[in-house]
Every structure is written in structure tokens, then in C-alpha cells.
């Protein structure tokens, strides 16, 4: 690490501690040449994530788009913004842990629906109706029937 005062590359770490809720490390350093102290921060390098759109275009993943989609689906539901952010964090973590650098929108949409289905069925149906582009009431009813069958099979499984 180069000293900001004299430019020397030799320094020693005096103190290290977690910063920004553990997402970085704050280090106090002392230059071995001039003796002055300075602070550095160490953060994990995030690999840019690309999203492959349905038409083949590639765009940079934007967490806010995911968050806004979830907010819209959960509108007028008894779901706090903290909970929505937690779901967003969970989905983003799952995407990043896949180690794929390019993620199809279909995968993101399925992750959102999986998390919403387990959390709030009304928000799930709202999101699914936009994501799956229901053309008519029959598509909508098929999705509701699928959801009800899942709920019924989970209820039967719980009784065993």
C-alpha cells in the first residue's frame, strides 16, 4: 500500500477491524519511511453480473430493478420494506453464489416467484401475472390452480 504522504510502498498494519457491517475491513497503517499514519479499506471485488434478456440483449444486473419489482408485487400487502429487502438480498445472494457471470431473466423471475410463493401468495400471483404475461383469465386460473395444488400437497406432507 503506497503512503499518501511520501509515496513509500512499505507500511505496517497497526489495527484492523470490520467496517460497514462486515462488508469491508478498515486498516490503520503506519508508513515505515515517514512514520505518518493513514487508513485503508479492503472490500470484496464484485464481479459484474450480466442479465440476458428474453431478446438476447445483455444488461448489467441492477439490484434496484429487482427490489422495485418486489415492491410493486407486495404493494398494499402487510409486508415491511425490511422484509422485501431481505427477500431481495436472498435472491441476489443466490444469483451471485451460482458463480455464473451471465444470468437469464427467466432464472431471476423463477427465483422471485419461488421466494414470493413461500412468503405471500397474493404477491406471488401479482408477480406471476406480469412475469408470465397472462394473456387471459384461463392462464391466470391455471396458475392459481397450480398454487392451490402446491399448497394442498404441502399440507398433506405436513400431516405425515
Residues 94-118 pLDDT 10s: 998 888 899 999 999 999 999 998 8
For residues 143 and 148, give the distance between their C-alpha atoms in angstroms, rounded to a whole number. 9
pTM: 0.63
Close Cβ partners of 40 (under 8 Å, ≥ 6 residues apart):
1, 26, 27, 29
Q: What is the pLDDT of residue 156?
A: 62
Mean pLDDT of the chain: 88
CB 117 within 8 A of CB 74: no
User: What average pLDDT does range 83-89 have in this prediction?
Assistant: 94
User: DSSP labels for 27-53?
Assistant: EEEEETTT--EEEEEEEPPPPPPEEE-
Residues 33-81 pLDDT 10s: 999 999 999 987 777 899 999 999 999 999 999 999 999 999 999 999 9
User: What average pLDDT does range 17-26 have in this prediction?
Assistant: 83
Q: What is the pLDDT of residue 80?
A: 93
Q: What is the pLDDT of residue 135?
A: 67
Q: What is the pLDDT of residue 111?
A: 94
Q: What is the pLDDT of residue 44?
A: 79
User: What would the grid cell of residue 128 be?
Assistant: 406471476
Q: Greater confidence, 78 or 125?
A: 78
> Which of 37, 32, 42 lies closest to 10, judged by CA?
32
**Is pLDDT of 120 > 70?**
yes
Amino acid at each position: 500500500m503506497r503512503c499518501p504522504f511520501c509515496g513509500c510502498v512499505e507500511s505496517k498494519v497497526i489495527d484492523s477491524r470490520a467496517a460497514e457491517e462486515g462488508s469491508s475491513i478498515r486498516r490503520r497503517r503506519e508508513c515505515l519511511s515517514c512514520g505518518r499514519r493513514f487508513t485503508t479499506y479492503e472490500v470484496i471485488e464484485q464481479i459484474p453480473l450480466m442479465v440476458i434478456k428474453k431478446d438476447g440483449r445483455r444488461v448489467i444486473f441492477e439490484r434496484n430493478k429487482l427490489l422495485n419489482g418486489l415492491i410493486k408485487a407486495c404493494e398494499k400487502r402487510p409486508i415491511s420494506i425490511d422484509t422485501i429487502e431481505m427477500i431481495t438480498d436472498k435472491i441476489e445472494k443466490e444469483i451471485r453464489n451460482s458463480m455464473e457471470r451471465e444470468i437469464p431473466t427467466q432464472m431471476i423471475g423463477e427465483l422471485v416467484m419461488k421466494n414470493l410463493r413461500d412468503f405471500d401468495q397474493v404477491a406471488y400471483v401479482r408477480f406471476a401475472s406480469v412475469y408470465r404475461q397472462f394473456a387471459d383469465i384461463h392462464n391466470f386460473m391455471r396458475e392459481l390452480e397450480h398454487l392451490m395444488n402446491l399448497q394442498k400437497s404441502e399440507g398433506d406432507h405436513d400431516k405425515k
